[in-house]
Amino acid sequence: MEKVKVVLVDKKDNKLGLEEKVRAHLSNGKLHRAFIVFIFNNKGEMLLQKRSKKKMLWPLYWDSSCASHPFNEEEYIDSGERRLKEELGFFCSLSYLTKFYYHSKYKEIGSEKEICAILTGNYFGKIKENPDEVADYRWMKVSKLKKSINKEPRYYTPWFKKGFKIYEQKRSKSNYK
């Protein structure tokens, strides 16, 4: 079985090569592409997922609706739509919002060091989570989520907290969601 590879990049998101996913996350990590997806329903709620206990980094932490890495030659939106189906069992069209850099170490196990795109979409149907990826999920009002992250940040992944803050800043400057 071929090992999954991530796209290594510089801080301007220029492709530098490929690396096995696990190796890219060891020690201090190697900078690579990633994305997070924020899915909203018609009640003004965001879909959150709790990462599977099988995850190498941040198992059982609350995260965005979906988070992963694009394949080589795959665009951010295409990869987000693919992973929604694989992780949560549904498809919806996504829009690109922005991207950001972050680096965060997890215990002595490894690091996330990524250029991370924020993708958004709307979905109102059923969810069929993949237990290898998702331990649990819930819908939460954005205002309540903001309070929860501020009160109990230790329950959320670092990339989600940073991405959510950027989303909130963009939302406050426009009529976005």
User: Domain-by-domain residue ranges, the chain?
Assistant: 5-173
Per the CB < 8 A criterion, the answer to whether 159 and 116 are in contact is yes
Distance CA 146, CA 78 (A): 28
Q: Tell me what percent of the residues of the chain surpass a pLDDT of 90.
A: 94
Has residue 176 got a pLDDT over 90?
Answer: no
Distance CA 62, CA 149 (A): 10
Sign of CA dihedral 146, 147, 150, 155: negative
- pTM score, whole prediction: 0.94
The fold for domain 5-173 equals Nucleoside Triphosphate Pyrophosphohydrolase (3.90.79)
With tokens 């800043």, the residue in question is 169
What are the pLDDT digits (tens) for 85-99? Answer: 999 999 999 999 999
With a CB cutoff of 8 Å and minimum separation 6, the contacts of 147 are none
β-bridge partners, 159: none
What are the pLDDT digits (tens) for 16-42? Answer: 999 999 999 999 999 999 999 999 999
pLDDT of residue 59: 98
End-to-end alpha carbon distance in the chain:
42
pLDDT of residue 172: 77
Q: For all residues of the chain together, what is the average pLDDT?
A: 95
